[in-house]
Amino acid sequence: MPRLTLVKMLSCGQGMTTLVEVYNNGDENGPADYLALIDCGGDLTWGGRESVAYIAQKVQQSGARLPNIVISHQDKDHNSLLKALGQRLHPMNPVINDIFLGGMNWQPTNVTTVRQFAQAVGYNGNLAFAAPMRSDYTNIPPGGGIGSVADYGDVHLRILISHLNAPAQALDIQRNASSAVIVVENEYFAVVLPGDATRQTMTQINSIPHLGSRLPTVVGLSIPHHGALRTAVEDYHAGRPTNEFGWTVIENFVRTIAPLRIGASAGPFNRHHHPVFEVIDKFTTVQPAPRHYFVAYLFNCHGQNTQCWRTFYLGRGAYCTVQSIDQPPIGPSRMLTHRTHGPFYYGDIVFRLSAPGVLRPEEMVEFRPRGTAGAERATEGIIHAPAP
């Protein structure tokens, strides 16, 4: 069988942890021939512990090899699981060829997290926390190839953009806007992983010349910044209805990347309200898909300017690591415990890349259930809508 590449958005609570697995014989049931980890953050309580165990298991099965690690930027929810992973990998003495660190304004605590991980796994290579701005898709000489941060056969990890400087913005926007946006591709199909990219990042991506002809068909996109509203729109003001914001940048980004499927990595009932359904709804290039559940935060709830969590049951290619919920958080506290939320159902989003004609479009993405916290799924509060 042709080579199979899996890009797994692992359920990790409020965070991002993605494992790239390559199988030369096309069979994912055996050891992976190549692994790359892109971000490693989240909450141990809400799926992160299982994800760390899974990554460690795959590394062990692959002969203690984890050749490439990419951390998109310095936010804690993109690197906080490195400590637990380092503890798991330490006895293996794994082979790690390179750790690429995206983003600007690294906080000392997160620098320490990365350095301690490197020490735990015996990595003595370069750790550049303030690398210059980079894009592998710009300034390509005539007849030259597109650059990359890692290659394995026909599988490439490329930097669409990294270290964008947005000095006029709030500090959190500066950090998020500087995220490394990673393209995982096999020369035929691609998955784009934007970290916490903001509208400033998307504006820069939209301006890259000839990008549409240089990107393969984008099978999957991890929706930028977990599907946040504030960083996706122009003219954001808290409390205003979503139809008063500017959506031009993200609409152009959708046309530029043209993803066939999208996925959101988010924690159950997270205080950031990720992902926002109105943001997901802007991804008009997403193709129809078999009906499935996913959870999003709805700003225009019941046709009014009120907000609520909802489980959606739609026939479109949008997925979330939280598949469904039974009820909203109980009580006034915004801090979640096992007693302040209703049951929820979670799992991994898996994008599958192979040679053309090997996989049908509907086989290129799937939600793989991981676990349940609570009783059986309730049917009330689920929004049923026709396929687009």
pLDDT(378) > 70? no
Domains, the chain, in order of start with CATH, read: 4-384 (3.60.15)
pTM: 0.91
pLDDT average, residue stretch 350-358: 97
DSSP state letter for 15 = S
Average pLDDT, the chain: 87
What are 170-194's pLDDT values in tens digits?
888 888 899 999 999 999 999 999 9
DSSP state letter for 30 = S
Long-range contacts at 129-133 (CB < 8 A, ≥ 24 apart)? 129/74, 129/101, 130/104, 130/106, 131/101, 131/102, 131/162, 131/163, 132/163, 133/161, 133/162, 133/163, 133/164, 133/165
Give helix then strand counts, H and E, for the chain.
Answer: 8, 18
Question: Comparing 162-166, 242-246, 259-263, which segment has the lowest mean pLDDT?
Answer: 242-246
- Of the chain, the percentage scoring pLDDT greater than 90 comes to 60
pLDDT average, residue stretch 31-49: 94
Largest CA distance in the chain: 62
Q: Give the pLDDT of residue 45.
A: 84
Burial of 14: CB neighbours in 10 Å, binned 0-12, 13-18, 19+:
buried
pLDDT average, residue stretch 369-377: 64
pLDDT(306) > 90? no
Beta bridge partners, 368, equal 348
Q: Give the pLDDT of residue 341.
A: 54
CA distance readout (Å), 82 to 110, 175, 348: 10, 19, 19
CA distance 229 to 242: 9
pLDDT(238) > 90? no
pLDDT(61) > 90? yes
- Please give the residue that has the higher pLDDT: either 272 or 7: 7
- Please give the residue that has the higher pLDDT: either 342 or 122: 122
Question: Comparing 127-131, 200-204, 238-242, 280-284, which segment has the lowest mean pLDDT?
Answer: 238-242
What are 320-351's pLDDT values in tens digits?
998 887 754 433 333 444 444 567 789 999 99
Structural element, H or E, at residue 310: strand 308-316
What are 68-116's pLDDT values in tens digits?
999 999 998 899 999 999 999 999 999 999 999 999 878 899 999 999 9
The band of 305, judged by pLDDT with boundaries at 50, 70 and 90, is: low
